[in-house]
């Protein structure tokens, strides 16, 4: 197992914690040298905060722990390609390297829709490494959304059955 894979497995453990509490399963780990500075997962629903993505949480935590906003010397591991907000935060924080698992073809800010992290117009570029534990990262997302679709379907069927039952009661009266 490479060191990229080792840290991505920790990010995946975070992603699975998110799934367990009904959050979209994306996890992130921030490493400085060989040391893990912060690990987090998406908390949007739990905190009711649209900025509470895994990457923002680890960046804010790392700034607090290291006492500096320039996170040079740091590598950020995240299971899914960062969105535009998180890609911008990576640039703003001067992170050296971003390693992600699977792409986000609908909203990726690193490569899929925008090239924020490597854009030469901005005042910092980070190195981007993609496809680390890609299938596993994508599978965690697929499982989550499949389960959610099944739950929604079951909820609708229950509601429909309840309505039919009420209608039958009314017809009987």
Residues that bind a second copy (CB under 8 A): 44-45, 47-53, 56, 59-60, 63-64, 67-71, 83-89, 91-94, 106-107, 109, 113-114, 116, 119, 121-123
Residue 67: left (phi > 0), alpha (psi -120 to 50), or beta? left
Which one is catalytic: 14, 55, 81, 111?
55
- Which residue, 80 or 133, has its beta carbon nearer to a second copy? 80
Query: What CA–CA distances, in Å, run from 33 to 45, 67, 109, 123?
Result: 32, 16, 25, 23
* Closest CA relative to residue 42, chosen from 62, 20, 63: 20
Query: Shortest approach of a second copy to residue 91 CB, angstroms?
Result: 7
- Which residue, 81 or 133, has its beta carbon nearer to a second copy? 81
* Closest CA relative to residue 102, chosen from 25, 18, 22: 25
- Which residue, 5 or 84, has its beta carbon nearer to a second copy? 84
Query: Shortest approach of a second copy to residue 90 CB, angstroms?
Result: 8
Query: Shortest approach of a second copy to residue 97 CB, angstroms?
Result: 16
Q: Catalytic residue at 55? A: yes
- Which residue, 51 or 167, has its beta carbon nearer to a second copy? 51
Query: Shortest approach of a second copy to residue 29 CB, angstroms?
Result: 17
Query: What CA–CA distances, in Å, run from 164 to 150, 153, 159, 161, 168?
Result: 21, 16, 9, 5, 6
Q: Which residues contact 168 (CB under 8 A, 6 or more apart)?
A: none
Which residues carry out catalysis? 55
């Amino acid at each position: 197992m490479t060191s990229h894979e080792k840290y991505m497995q920790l990010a995946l453990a975070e992603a699975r914690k998110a799934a367990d509490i009904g959050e979209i399963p994306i996890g992130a780990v921030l490493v400085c040298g060989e040391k893990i500075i912060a690990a987090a997962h998406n908390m949007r629903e739990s905190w009711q905060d649209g900025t509470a993505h895994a990457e923002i949480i680890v960046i804010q935590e790392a700034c607090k722990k290291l006492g500096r906003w320039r996170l040079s010397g740091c590598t950020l591991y995240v299971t899914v390609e960062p969105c535009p907000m998180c890609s911008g935060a990576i640039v703003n924080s001067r992170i050296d390297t971003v390693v992600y698992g699977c792409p986000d073809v609908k909203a990726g800010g690193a490569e899929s829709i925008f090239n924020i992290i490597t854009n030469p117009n901005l005042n910092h570029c980070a190195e981007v490494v993609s496809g680390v534990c890609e299938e596993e990262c994508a599978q965690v997302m697929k499982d989550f959304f499949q389960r959610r679709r099944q739950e929604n379907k079951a909820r609708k069927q229950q509601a429909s059955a309840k309505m039919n039952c009420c209608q039958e009661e009314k017809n009987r009266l």
